[in-house]
Amino acid sequence: MKNQIILVEDDEDTIFIFENLLLKNDFEVKVARNGEEALKIIDEGFYPQVVLADWTMPVMDGLQLCKVIKSEEKYKSLYFIMLTSRSSVQDRIIGLEAGADDFLMKPIDNTELIARIRSGIRIFELQAELAKVEHSKALVEMACTLGHKFNNPLSSLTISLDSLKDELPEDVNEKVKDDLKTIDESIKRINDLVKQLTKLDDPKIINYLDGQGMLDLE
């Protein structure tokens, strides 16, 4: 699968040059003429690793777009490269405070642009891997916690069932015996699940009903 880039730029000549450069370097590219168009493209399902945005644009400029992306949980991992002709230290501080990950000063060298984009993609992928590790760790901790929390009531239930069996007369009817057997088998199944939860070290998510995810304990 090709790496995905959104180019946010309102100058047609710049769009022509950069879009062709990116396509030539085997990137999948979507073009937006302002920040609002870029957000719409992302919301419609095109999720890029890198956003390449000019600072100065109509409707929503690059700085405003950057602030939106970095403030939204679903967007903030996108690597944001700001393109600008602004060279002052103060402008760079403003851009960094908005959340920009990198700056490129116009006029931009094509080789440097591609190198910065590839660097951004590597950082994006490392962040994604780290998020997976953190997610797996959280699942393991949750599973172990639930397993230990279930242990006490499960033990109480087992003791109570054994006591009930001892107290029942021998001539109890068959339906009661069948019900007790069902309860006993259910407790054993729950106990097996608890053991799996407390020993879970490689959590996997499988699709369940209606696309809902659940832990695979098989």
Residues 85 and 162 in one domain: no
The pLDDT assigned to 142 comes to: 67
Residue 19 has pLDDT above 80, yes or no: yes
pLDDT band for position 6 (cuts 50, 70, 90): very high
Phi, psi of 211 (to 5 degrees): 75, 5
For 21-46, the pLDDT digits (tens) are: 999 999 999 999 999 999 999 999 89
Closest by CA position to 74, among listed 97, 47, 37: 47
The pLDDT assigned to 31 comes to: 96
Report how many domains make up the chain: 2
Residues 85 and 140 in one domain: no
Residue 208 has pLDDT above 60, yes or no: no
The pLDDT assigned to 51 comes to: 95
Residues 137 and 202 in one domain: yes
DSSP conformation letters of 18-76:
HHHHHHHTT-EEEEESSHHHHHHHHHTT---SEEEEES--SSS-HHHHHHHHHHSTTTT
Look at residue 121 and tell me if it is in a domain: no
Helix (H) or strand (E) holding 4: strand 4-8
The pLDDT assigned to 180 comes to: 80
Measured between alpha carbons, how far is 1 from 26 in angstroms, rounded to an integer? 10
Measured between alpha carbons, how far is 56 from 110 in angstroms, rounded to an integer? 20
Residue 189 has pLDDT above 90, yes or no: no
Residues 167 and 77 in one domain: no
Residues 77 and 142 in one domain: no
Residues 175 and 209 in one domain: yes
Domain range enclosing 203: 133-215
CATH number reported for the structural domain that contains residue 76 in this entry: 3.40.50.2300
The pLDDT assigned to 24 comes to: 95
Q: Which residues contact 103 (CB under 8 A, 6 or more apart)?
A: 81, 82, 84, 92, 95
Q: Which of 52-56, 103-107, 196-200, 211-215 has the lowest mean pLDDT?
A: 211-215
The pLDDT assigned to 201 comes to: 60
Of all residues in the chain, the percent with pLDDT exceeding 70 is 79
pLDDT band for position 183 (cuts 50, 70, 90): confident
155 vs 136, higher pLDDT: 155
For 83-125, the pLDDT digits (tens) are: 987 767 777 788 778 888 888 888 889 999 999 999 989 988 8
Residue 217 has pLDDT above 60, yes or no: no
Helix (H) or strand (E) holding 206: strand 205-207
Residues 98 and 9 in one domain: yes
Which amino acid is located at 46 in the chain?
A: F
- State the number of CA atoms in the 13 A half-sphere of 162 facing the CB: 8
DSSP 195: H
Look at residue 200 and tell me if it is in a domain: yes
The pLDDT assigned to 133 comes to: 63
